Amino acid sequence: MKQFRTASQLLLTFTGLVGTSATRFSGLALSSSKRNQHARPRNLLNTVPRGGAEGAFISPALVKDIGITSITYMTADFLSNFLQHPTQKMDYGIFNRLIKREVVNKWWGTRTEHIVGVAGCLAVTDHASQAIFKNIFEKTLSFANSPAAFVAHTFAFIFTGVALYVGADAVLNPNHAKGTRMAIFKEEVYNTYVGTNTAWFEPFVPGVLAMVVGSAAASGWLGSSLLPATLAYATVKGVGWKDWGNSGLTEHEVKLSS
């Protein structure tokens, strides 16, 4: 029960970072799902402007969709930590105060930096990649209609999004020693490549889930969006950075978990 309360507190806090409540999020997700009912099963994560906003580079609808996608990815990253580290204590930086854990670094090098930073980058590259594929095929990208292209899209946007994040961290993180930033960036990009190769299964998750529990559950936000993203986060981080169990923990997390 204590772990559940801790997870709930942190999850609500991360959701608040993008200026939305859980109620508003549910409503937006539902409306997004209805607008894109003919797109791929995981349609919440990949929407493009419709109607009059089609020609605009950035429209209010696109900004909203990217925000929704960011929330989904933040939630997936947070939940994946429980799959990778079920008994370990994570360092959530400034939010450690909410769960009575010691705060060493408020932002840099914490799970919160990763959760927010990666989600933002992935949301942008996800929508950008869909727009590119839509221009190529002259129709909305769908796993059902173009499975090979969709798998390529999945690899491309995940690799590019995470690479953007590790690049920004290599440049901006004050914890990196002087003269090591380029070496860190190269190493992290390689880890990104290794991890991204494990996410090929993500588009297949809703289909498999539909066979197991039915199409209704598989087509909803949990089955078509959150579950695939959570599993992908776990494998990308786990394989790319060997982030499983006691492996992959920061020094502070080792201290917290001991």
Digit-coded pLDDT (tens) for 45-84: 333 333 344 444 578 999 999 999 999 999 999 999 999 9
Residue 156 pLDDT greater than 80, yes or no:
yes
Structure tokens at 195: 């991890």
**Residue type at 9?**
Q
How crowded is the C-beta side of 212, counted as CA atoms within 13 Å? Answer: 8
Please give the pLDDT value at position 59: 85
The residue behind tokens 């995940």 is 158
Q: What is the pTM of this model?
A: 0.80
What average pLDDT score do residues 25-30 get? Answer: 35
User: What's the mean pLDDT in 178-193?
Assistant: 97
Return the residue matching tokens 């402007």: 49
The Cα–Cα gap between 136 and 130 comes to: 10
Q: Which residue, chain included where needed, has tokens 């797109």?
A: 39
Q: What is the pLDDT of residue 2?
A: 52
Is the pLDDT reported for residue 23 higher than 90? no
Q: Are 236 and 195 in contact (CB under 8 A)?
A: yes
